[in-house]
Amino acid sequence: MTWPQILYLLPVVPATVLAVADLRHRTIPMNWLVAFGLCVPLPSVFLSSAGTILYNILTNTLLLGWVFGGVWIYLKLRCRRPGNLFRQYVGSGDLVFALLLTPFAPLPQYLLLLLGGCMGGLAYWIGVRIAVRYSATIPLVTFFSLAFIVCTLYRLIR
């Protein structure tokens, strides 16, 4: 295994821990989130130029702002009650995790990461809704992590 491959595998460990913690407890440990935040930029810094990294961060953050802005507008129109709707329906760890993924991939891959994570979360919610017959919260970090791990492993075997 070469050192670029090892760098790509480095963030997989904290992503796995975060996925399991979010699935079990619906919270993510801050120390593992910091570890993930330190591990994700390392492959980018050593394998990409600074311009590419900044471009990825900018475009992916704009996409994330657009998506979460749409969610906020939807919740505002749907619920029509005062209070912080975003905090009630979307965990701050979900947003921070998605932000930490921004330097990792260019916009098309990042879009696939977001879509894969959201589709996995939707499938989980539908499965729980049908099997257990109650509306569960969606462990979004778990499904973002799974999409990230699949993308990372694909980069390694490609």
Which CA distances in Å does 124 have to 37, 50, 59, 118, 153? Answer: 26, 37, 29, 10, 22
**Position 86 pLDDT exceeds 70:** no
pLDDT, one tens digit per residue, over 94-117 is: 889 999 999 988 999 999 999 999
Which CA distances in Å does 27 have to 19, 30, 32, 37, 139? Answer: 10, 9, 11, 17, 9
87 falls in which pLDDT band (50, 70, 90)?
Answer: low
pTM of the predicted model as reported, rounded to 2 decimal places: 0.89
DSSP 70-128: HHHHHHHHHH--SS-HHHHHS-HHHHHHHHHTTTTS-HHHHHHHHHHHHHHHHHHHHHH
**Position 4 pLDDT exceeds 80:** no
Count of domains observed in the chain: 1
Contacts of 154 (CB under 8 A, 6+ apart): none
Task: Domain of residue 52: give its range.
Answer: 3-157
**Position 82 pLDDT exceeds 90:** no
